[in-house]
Structure 1
Amino acid sequence: MRFNIRGENVEVTNAIRDYIIKKVEKLEKYFDGMIQAEVQVKLKVYDKDTKVEITIPLKSLVLRAEEQHENMYAAIDLIVDKLERQVRKYKTKVNRKPRQVKAVRKIEDTSVLVLEPEVDTFDEERFEVVRTKKFNLKPMDTEEAILQMNMLGHQFFVYTESESLETNIVYQRKDGKYAVIEIQ
């Protein structure tokens, strides 16, 4: 793993850097061999709190967590625990997957295609784009996409369906169920 540790309103000392590296490298025990990824770590200090954000983009998964705490070292411990839970959850789902092919098919069969009504007129307001993101779409099935969306804490997730290689969007509905938008 390569580490990119940045501090906002805080100097990243060798002690903090070493502590982060020591803690995050413990995640390698869940994978076969070394993790080839650049770990992004952001440390922020506010008046009475510190905030730690860690993002680890892996080949088939993006691990991301953030934590606020009065003590930076405690926040680092808590965030590594979160990341560890994410990895265990992902590994459990992936290992269980071959035994549950029928369940995945059922999710795909109950997908919902949502069409929004077209809007003919726009207000005279200007729409301001405040952020643009680019990312590679990796082939995965619907269950993996839902898992990725939940791990990232996002409201939707764009992915390439592994069987059809079509671009799809999965999101969670207000009733707690999931829906898939299939792009044609």
Structure 2
Amino acid sequence: MANQVQIFGKNMEVTDNIHDYVSDKAENLNRYLKKIENTRVDLAYVKSARNAEDRQVAQITVQGPRILLRTEERADDILAAFDTAYNKMKRQIERYKGKKGRGRGDGRSAAEVAPDVSSDDLETEEIIIARSKKFTVYPMLVEEAYEQMQLLEHDNFFIFYNGDTNAINVLYRRRDGSYGLIEPEIA
């Protein structure tokens, strides 16, 4: 499957020159890892940055079966931020490829085992959700979830579909530096 590249700009205009440069390099990530299906590049100008050199932000997210990698870099120039993030992404891909002995799940999707929840089951108290995210989960072992957590540089938690238990689990870092695993049970 071809690598689909999406480029977004926030608080800045993504000119044709920037778009072409970023698109060409992002498409080339498939040279380093063939199974990349989607690459998302977010370019932003952050007005509230403390340091003027950190106002241009480039974030690259690559996704494929059983992999999700993300890098973010800041600089005083958007192309410099992108180039640094791109090089960091190549290093992450090399780290990912260097992992040996990967186990495989049974191939079932999370939707096959997730319970149906109706809106009647939710409380009527109004909540404000600042951000909502959807992502594809692939069956993986706890060890693979740990590796993904490290590769994504998520310090607190990682949600994944456990191929051993056929359930959604949460791997999290405890205050003492060790890790915990949440294995919810459906009532």
| Shorter-chain TM band | 0.7 to 0.9
Match of 2:101, SS state, is helix
Q: Quote the offset at 1:127 in angstroms.
A: 5.2
Q: Quote the offset at 1:16 in angstroms.
A: 0.8
Counterpart AA for 1:72? I
Instruction: Give the 3 Å change call, closer, same or farther, for CA 66–177 of structure 1 in structure 2.
Output: same
Work out the CA distance in 2 between the residues paired with 1:168 and 1:7. 33
Query: Which of 64, 67, 72 is matched with 1:58 structurally?
Result: 64
CA offsets per residue over residues 56-91 of structure 1, 9 Å max, x none? 221111121111100111111110111112111111
Query: Which of 86, 98, 101 is matched with 1:97 structurally?
Result: 101
Q: Quote the offset at 1:126 in angstroms.
A: 7.2
Counterpart AA for 1:97? G
Quote the residue 1:80 is aligned against.
86
1:20-169 equivalence runs, <5 A? 20-32=22-34, 35-37=36-38, 39-46=39-46, 48=52, 49-93=55-99, 96-97=100-101, 128-154=128-154, 155-169=156-170
Cα contact 2:33–2:93 (8 A) shared by 1: no
Cα contact 2:5–2:26 (8 A) shared by 1: no
Stretches of structure 2 lacking an aligned partner (at least 5 in a row) = 104-124
Quote the residue 1:8 is aligned against.
10
The answer to which of 42-51 and 66-75 deviates more is 42-51
Work out the CA distance in 1 between the residues paired with 2:137 and 2:24. 31
Q: Quote the offset at 1:131 in angstroms.
A: 2.7
Cα contact 2:36–2:63 (8 A) shared by 1: no
Counterpart AA for 2:131? R
Quote the residue 2:117 is aligned against.
none
* Matched residues, number: 155
Cα contact 2:37–2:63 (8 A) shared by 1: no
Quote the residue 2:180 is aligned against.
179
Instruction: Give the 3 Å change call, closer, same or farther, for CA 44–151 of structure 1 in structure 2.
Output: same
What is the TM-score with the length of structure 2 in the denominator? 0.72
Work out the CA distance in 2 between the residues paired with 1:22 and 1:69. 21
Cα contact 2:137–2:160 (8 A) shared by 1: yes
The answer to which of 152-161 and 74-83 deviates more is 152-161
Q: Quote the offset at 1:181 in angstroms.
A: 1.6
Q: Quote the offset at 1:46 in angstroms.
A: 3.8
Counterpart AA for 1:60? R
Instruction: Give the 3 Å change call, closer, same or farther, for CA 35–151 of structure 1 in structure 2.
Output: closer
Quote the residue 2:120 is aligned against.
none
What is the TM-score with the length of structure 1 in the denominator? 0.73
Stretches of structure 1 lacking an aligned partner (at least 5 in a row) = 102-124
Work out which of the two has the higher radius of gyration on C-alpha atoms and give 1 or 2. 1
% identity of equivalent residues: 35
Match of 1:63, SS state, is strand
